[in-house]
């Protein structure tokens, strides 16, 4: 596989500058324009990043570790949350651009990198809601970049860094592990890359992976209940006939894969038929292109095998982000050489329109009833006025608990599964629901930790328009309990 590294001065750096400018604007947008409340992942990080631990329940620890450091530097702010996420997104684009630039000209590498914006889970959902999947995709991009360099130089250091990247990817999100396995299988299947995998130095990569993952995996073994607490979202039904479960899982994966890649697929197909040069043109470095294609296909097949073996019947397209993120760039590097100059120009216009739509719709989305526009400031003020001396909050879920932590740093926050040690004396229970009694999930958690309720105040129900001046109502209940 050739490694065409050409870097004319003043050319390659325009694309990285574009990526940096875009994500800098995203940080400004999130911090200044949209900065009111926290989404689910942001609120969870507001809680988990308070401490450094080997594990945080269902999610690996790497994102929370790094977020902890940024909180120490910039405070527990929306800016710190947005800075980290957009830094990872920018790093994904930079690593992918460098990877593609090694094998294609500047324009193709830049436009193929920008095709990530056309993937809704990366262009839109990564800004709106995701966190751990963003880091996993970043690590997948870095992993491929290091592997492409490793194939050429076979340096001992590159084998070491490749192993470190894989280990950090696993610590970013567990489903990332499918990507490096697919990459290695694909590399072994190609003559031009096989020798790099069969080189004895690959054991240095395995040693680095094993060393870095030893303590986190030890934590997982000792906390299997916490790690598997949301396994129900995969809709695994052991009693269902295997053939029916397999068919349901296959169809769910097919649907999720289509939804993940449908937008760039339709756009590229349209451009191909409208602006095709109708001449046979090479798609650049063919061995590298074959590695791209095989990696995407192998990752999808490995995912299917896992689904069939586990009995999973529910697959969300967002779960495929670190697995199929290369789908759009792979299609783009194949198509662009076949388009006329006008066709390439149209593609760049489409990507630009997509970026403008993201900038425009994100604030509009949060003006409407969304998790980040929930009127938590008013609710926190009401609770502080009612119970000015109480400093412990027991929230039903991490979304509520994280928003309370963000708005009042003096409160100690506990949620089911997190920080039972602070639940003592007078505690304020809060839960978003029409139900006025303390939810069973909260009382059960107190019972599990031997926390006996001595007395309960009457429940106070807060109902606020969400968003303001609308007919939609957000309801949250709170009451004070005293624990033995």
What's the average model confidence in pLDDT over 5-25?
A: 76
Amino acid 6: pLDDT: 45
Q: Which of 310-324, 330-344, 464-478 has the lowest mean pLDDT?
A: 464-478
Give the pTM: 0.92
- Higher pLDDT, residue 457 or 238: 457
Confidence bin at 239 (pLDDT 50/70/90): low
pLDDT in tens, 338-354: 898 899 999 999 999 99
pLDDT in tens, 135-144: 999 999 999 9
Name the CATH topology of 374-483.
Translation Initiation Factor IF3 (3.30.110)
pLDDT at position 210 over 50? yes
Amino acid 236: pLDDT: 56
- Higher pLDDT, residue 228 or 459: 459
Amino acid 10: pLDDT: 41
pLDDT in tens, 423-435: 999 999 999 988 8
Residues of the chain with CATH 3.30.110: 374-483
Q: Which of 11-15, 389-393, 424-428 has the lowest mean pLDDT?
A: 11-15
Q: Which of 347, 327, 349 is nearest to 337 (CA)?
A: 347
pLDDT at position 7 over 50? no
Sign, Cα dihedral of 123, 124, 128, 133: negative
Confidence bin at 316 (pLDDT 50/70/90): confident
User: Average pLDDT of the chain?
Assistant: 89
Q: Which of 157, 482, 122, 77 is nearest to 322 (CA)?
A: 122
Q: Which of 41-50, 138-147, 272-281 has the lowest mean pLDDT?
A: 272-281
What's the average model confidence in pLDDT over 358-385?
A: 85
Percent of the chain with pLDDT over 90: 67
Amino acid 184: pLDDT: 96
pLDDT at position 150 over 90? yes
Amino acid 470: pLDDT: 67
Confidence bin at 468 (pLDDT 50/70/90): low
């Amino acid at each position: 596989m050739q490694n065409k590294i050409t870097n004319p001065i003043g050319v390659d750096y325009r694309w990285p500058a574009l990526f940096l400018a875009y994500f800098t604007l995203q940080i400004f947008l999130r911090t200044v324009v949209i900065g009111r409340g926290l989404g689910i992942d942001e609120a969870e990080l507001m809680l988990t990043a308070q401490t450094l631990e080997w594990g945080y329940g269902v999610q690996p620890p790497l994102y929370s570790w790094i977020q902890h450091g940024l909180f120490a530097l910039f405070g527990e702010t929306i800016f710190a949350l947005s800075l980290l996420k957009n830094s990872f997104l920018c790093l994904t684009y930079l690593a992918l651009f460098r990877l593609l630039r090694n094998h294609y000209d500047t324009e193709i590498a830049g436009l193929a990198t920008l095709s990530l914006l056309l993937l809704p889970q990366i262009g839109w959902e990564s800004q709106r809601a995701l966190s751990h999947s963003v880091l996993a995709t970043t690590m997948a991009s870095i992993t491929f970049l290091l592997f492409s360099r490793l194939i050429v130089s076979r340096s001992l250091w590159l084998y070491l860094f490749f192993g470190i990247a894989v280990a950090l990817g696993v610590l970013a999100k567990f489903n990332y592990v499918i990507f490096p396995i697919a990459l290695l299988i694909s590399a072994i299947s190609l003559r031009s890359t096989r020798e790099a995998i069969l080189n004895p130095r690959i054991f240095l990569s395995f040693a680095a992976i094993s060393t870095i993952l030893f303590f986190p995996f030890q934590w997982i073994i000792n906390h299997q209940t916490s790690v598997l607490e949301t396994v129900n979202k995969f809709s695994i039904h052991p009693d269902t006939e295997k053939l029916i479960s397999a068919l349901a899982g296959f169809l769910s994966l097919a649907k999720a894969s289509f939804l993940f890649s449908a937008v760039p697929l339709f756009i590229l197909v349209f451009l191909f038929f409208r602006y095709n040069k109708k001449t046979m043109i090479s798609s650049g470095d063919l061995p590298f292109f074959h590695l791209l294609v095989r990696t995407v296909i192998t990752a999808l097949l490995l995912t299917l095998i896992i689904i069939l073996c586990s009995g999973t019947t529910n697959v969300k397209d967002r779960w495929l982000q670190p697995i199929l993120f290369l789908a759009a760039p792979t299609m783009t590097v194949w198509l662009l050489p076949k388009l006329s100059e006008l066709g390439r120009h149209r593609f760049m216009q489409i990507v630009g329109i997509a970026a403008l739509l993201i900038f425009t719709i994100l604030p509009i989305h949060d003006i409407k009833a969304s998790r980040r526009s929930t009127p938590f400031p008013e609710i926190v003020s009401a609770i502080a006025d009612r119970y000015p001396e109480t400093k412990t909050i027991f929230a039903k879920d991490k979304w509520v608990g994280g928003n309370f932590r963000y708005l009042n740093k003096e409160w100690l926050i506990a949620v089911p599964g997190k920080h039972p040690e602070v639940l003592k004396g007078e505690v304020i229970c809060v839960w978003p629901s029409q139900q006025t009694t303390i939810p069973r999930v909260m009382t059960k958690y107190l019972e599990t930790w031997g926390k006996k309720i001595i007395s309960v105040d009457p429940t106070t129900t807060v109902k606020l328009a969400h968003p303001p001046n609308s007919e939609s109502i957000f309801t949250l209940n709170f009451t004070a309990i005293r624990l033995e």
